[in-house]
Amino acid sequence: MKMGASVNFKDELARRTARAEEILKQYLPPEEGFAAQAARAMNYSLQAGGKRLRPVMMEEAWRMYGGTGREIEPFMAGMEMIHTHSLIHDDLPALDNDDTRRGKPTSHVVFGEAMAILAGDMLLNHAYETMLKAFCMTEHPDRAARALCVMAEKTGIRGMLGGQSVDVENDGTPLDRDLLNYIYENKTSALIEASLMTGALLAGAEQAAVEVMEACGRRIGLAFQIVDDILDVTGETAALGKPVHSDEKNHKTTYVTLYGLDRSRKKAEELTEEAIGMLEQSGTDCAFMKELFRALSARTR
């Protein structure tokens, strides 16, 4: 039955990804009026074909903890906007200077550097404008307020953007293990933690359950980034949609340079199994989330 389950999982994941796409579409800025080009720049990156991993995780955490109603939707869309904001700014000439992402030209290549900077800003702001709509859709404004606080903390200097800024600051210098873990846990884990936490929070989960989601997210985010490091060495450009061996070329410290391929693989698997163990203790129907965690750890692109 294992294989049958996996086939079902792939179908179910495709269904949920399509649903996340649909929800995101409802909150895209309209491409009209004087600022039509700005909206086109935002939508170009939002619709450049991401995995929609974070909103899918958010919705599943919400389902696991018994969420009903529609207030999860603006949060799912907002999460993807925050993630996309970070990709546009990451790719800028002053940061990673990447011309392609997911096989497509990056925002500053298509719209120019000034508009790419502003499109990133507008997406971050639009995420809040979107998530705030939950207040008009919920009978639990206190939960929406708490979820917004989590989103803001995990996005900002104590989360993704903090990790990103420490990464930038140490660009080109060798990193020790503490610093690399700090960067990964913030740059990558923080938004995954926020996805799982806000899903649970909006569903009305207890604080202890929200903390379990945070602990899961930290591990899955770190495993995700370690697999990224591995694929940069072992993957193929065509499959990944981005150049491989870029870490080596840029003399970047990664899990692979610090620990080697085998220990990195083992670490990613361990972290994934730890997170799965936590799910199994959570008393929820967590079959889909477990498969999702395992699929992320075993992914080849």
Binding site for its own copies (CB under 8 A): 29, 34-35, 37-39, 41-42, 85, 89, 92, 94-95, 112-115, 117-122, 124-126, 128-129, 132, 135, 141-142, 144-145, 148-149, 152-153, 155-158, 161-166, 168-169, 171, 179, 182, 186
Is 155:191 a contact under the CB 8 Å cutoff?
yes
From the CB of 145, what's the least distance to its own copies, in Å? 4
From the CB of 76, what's the least distance to its own copies, in Å? 17
From the CB of 296, what's the least distance to its own copies, in Å? 26
| The two three-digit tokens of residue 120, written as one number | 């990133």
Nearer to its own copies, 99 or 285 (CB): 99
Rounded Cα gap, residues 20 and 121, in angstroms:
22
Nearer to its own copies, 153 or 274 (CB): 153
| The two three-digit tokens of residue 54, written as one number | 């974070």
Nearer to its own copies, 4 or 33 (CB): 33
Nearer to its own copies, 122 or 200 (CB): 122
From the CB of 49, what's the least distance to its own copies, in Å? 22
Under DSSP, the state recorded for 250 is T
From the CB of 255, what's the least distance to its own copies, in Å? 18
Sequence-distant (6+) residues with CB within 8 A of 98 are 90, 91, 106, 242
Rounded Cα gap, residues 117 and 123, in angstroms:
10
User: Dihedral through CA 136, CA 138, CA 141, CA 146, nearest 10?
Assistant: -110
Burial (Cβ within 10 Å: 0-12, 13-18, ≥19) of residue 240:
middle
| The two three-digit tokens of residue 190, written as one number | 């923080």
Nearer to its own copies, 83 or 89 (CB): 89
From the CB of 151, what's the least distance to its own copies, in Å? 8
Nearer to its own copies, 186 or 284 (CB): 186
Is 133:147 a contact under the CB 8 Å cutoff?
no
CA distances from 153 to 157, 160, 190, 197 (A): 8, 9, 9, 12
